[in-house]
Amino acid sequence: MAPAATARSAPRPVSQGRWDTVTTSYYLIIGSTGLLLLLGLIMVLSASAPTQVAASASPYGLFFRQSAYAAIGLVGLVVASRLPVAFYRRSAPVLLLAALFLQALTLTGFGHSVNGNSGWLDLGGVTVQPAEILKLALALWLGAVLGRKRALLGQWRHVLVPAAPVVVIALGLVLGGNDLGTTIVLCLVVAAAFIVSGAEWKLLTMGGVLAAVGMVGLFVVGNSNRTDRISAVYGACADAVRGQVSSADAADACYQSVHGMWGLATGGLLGVGLGSSREKWSYLPAAVNDFIYSVLGEEFGLFGTLVVLALFGVLGFAMARVVMRHPDPFVKVATAGISAWIVGQAIINICVVVGLLPVIGVPLPLMSAGGSALIATLLAIGVVLAFARDEPGAREALAARPHVIRRTFSVVAGATRRVPLRRGGSAK
């Protein structure tokens, strides 16, 4: 009886439950990413068709272009997910230098401005935004540096050098192009990397306060455009949404926010139906980019918006599992930075659309139209998938799991080996 009692009282092995295995992070990332990407393509088609027709173009033009970006990004995701962790650790400095160089080019004659943001490059007819690659490069480089110095991060000089000077350069290059939204996202990457690295909280708090005060003082105070946006979203815009003041002028500071919230309000609980949005008919600026969440809410209602929130929650949860379960400090810090970028940017975008934050011009990851952002995001997710495959026991579990195609062929082959019944006889 004693051995049986001992066996019953023994603790269950870790990660052996049906929904908590060594491959859970891997499949949650794939599933949530795939659903967000598919829903994003559907919404790009729905939101862009009216403006494409108004411009005498094919209603499917922007959708086909976004689908091509998605295909390129998915190829990059698959390749990135198969590379070893050591490759990313070694290549992080080179990737960061390349990203900084491209970002610096945007401040020269090679760059051009889009909506007041000069962070774009024309490369042989292809327009790219280097800041999107800089997000991934900075996360990997911080992972390599802070992971290697983890035991020394209780000392302020090891926290600051060489991370702080490089971070300042990266932020300065992006701010030089007047892109405050991307700068805020980069700050999220840096903050998450430092927090997970194990640096002293006193140093992190002091650095965060100084950075916040510096950014507000240098880039908000004295900038009438940004101060007008901030004051409007917390004052006049709320009155305009309720119809107490007019916001009919497209140049009004409240115009975009008001029409975004009107779209969400019109959708109600279940939405007006796919393709039936009114705001996308040139009433809502950036309907296919920064405010695609508003079109989604109008057409799919509160239900659709909550589904998107849940999918980003699942993606963030899966990446957090990688941070907690992987033993390599490099993987922990880099994954934290990538997660803060993608999930944090999604939260910022949604808060802008619902009127909790002023309009700062950041797209909704995996859903907004735009090639650079989509490809870079899919590449970053591919990197995290490579880290998830490297979790203890995950690689062996994935190798032992029969491939879908292989299982299909085995079923077909088994069916063809059956002996058919002869007429009037029996099978032998």
Tens-digit pLDDT profile for residues 116-128? 788 889 877 788 9
Annotate 118-153 with DSSP letters as a single string.
Answer: EEEEEETTEEE-HHHHHHHHHHHHHHHHHHHTGGGT
Per-residue pLDDT, averaged over 13-34, amounts to: 81
Place 343 in a pLDDT band, splitting at 50, 70 and 90.
very high
pLDDT higher than threshold 70 for residue 409: no
Q: Quick check: is 426 in a domain?
A: no
d(CA 338, CA 303): 27
User: Looking at the domain assignment, is residue 68 inside a domain?
Assistant: yes
CB 369, CB 41: distance < 8 Å: no
- Distance CA(38)–CA(59), nearest Å, equals 18
* E-state strands within 176-293: none
**Structural domain includes residue 99:** yes
Q: Which of 77, 197, 84, 104 is nearest to 142 (CA)?
A: 197
The rounded distance, in Å, linking the Cα atoms of 76 and 92 is 17
To the nearest 10 degrees (0 to 180), the angle between helices 292-325 and 371-389 is 20
Q: Quick check: is 404 in a domain?
A: no
Residue 10 counted as domain residue: no
Per mean pLDDT, which range of 29-43, 84-98, 111-125, 181-195 is the poorest? 111-125
d(CA 416, CA 345): 52
**Which candidate, 380, 340, 384, 320, places its Cα nearest to that of 85?**
384
**Number of structural domains found in the chain:** 1
Residue 422 pLDDT more than 50?
no
CA of 198: how far to CAs of 45, 89, 186, in Å?
44, 19, 19
Q: Do 397 and 385 touch, CB atoms closer than 8 A? A: no
Query: Does residue 423 form part of some domain?
Result: no
Of residues 89 and 252, more confidently modeled: 89
Secondary-structure percent of the chain, ordered helix, strand, coil, rounded to 5? 65, 5, 30
d(CA 219, CA 201): 26
Q: Is residue 408 assigned to a domain?
A: no
* Mean pLDDT, rounded, for 290-314: 97
Q: What's the Cα-to-Cα distance from 308 to each of 32, 240, 365, 366, rounded to whole Å?
A: 9, 27, 11, 11
Residue 118 belongs to a domain: yes
pLDDT at residue 236 greater than cutoff 70: no
Give 324's pLDDT tier (boundaries 50, 70, 90). Answer: very high
Q: How confident is the model at residue 212 (pLDDT cuts 50, 70, 90)?
A: confident
Type of residue numbered 204? L
Locate 220 and state its tokens: 């908000």
pLDDT over 80 (residue 107): yes
Residue type, 84: P
Question: pLDDT (tens digit, 9 = 90+) per residue, 2-13?
Answer: 444 444 444 444
The dihedral through the CA atoms of 117, 122, 127, 133 has a sign that is negative
pLDDT, residue 5, reads 45
How far is residue 177 from each of residues 88, 127, 260, measured CA to CA in Å?
A: 28, 15, 26
Q: Taking residues 215-225, what's their average pLDDT? A: 62
Mean pLDDT, to the nearest integer, of 267-294? 94
Q: What is the pLDDT of residue 95?
A: 97
Range of the structural domain that residue 25 is part of: 20-392
Q: Closest Cα to residue 80, out of 337, 305, 410, 378?
A: 378
Q: Would you give the end-to-end CA distance of the chain in angstroms?
A: 50
The answer on pLDDT for 245 being more than 90 is no
Give me the mean pLDDT over the 388-399 stretch.
90
| pLDDT over 50 (residue 294) | yes
Cis upstream peptide for 162 (omega within 30°): yes
Residue 368 is classified by DSSP as S
Q: How confident is the model at residue 41 (pLDDT cuts 50, 70, 90)?
A: very high
Q: What is the pLDDT of residue 18?
A: 64
**pLDDT cut 90: percent of the chain above it:** 58
Q: Is the per-residue pLDDT at 418 higher than 60?
A: no
- pTM check: above 0.85: yes
Q: What was the pLDDT predicted at 403?
A: 60
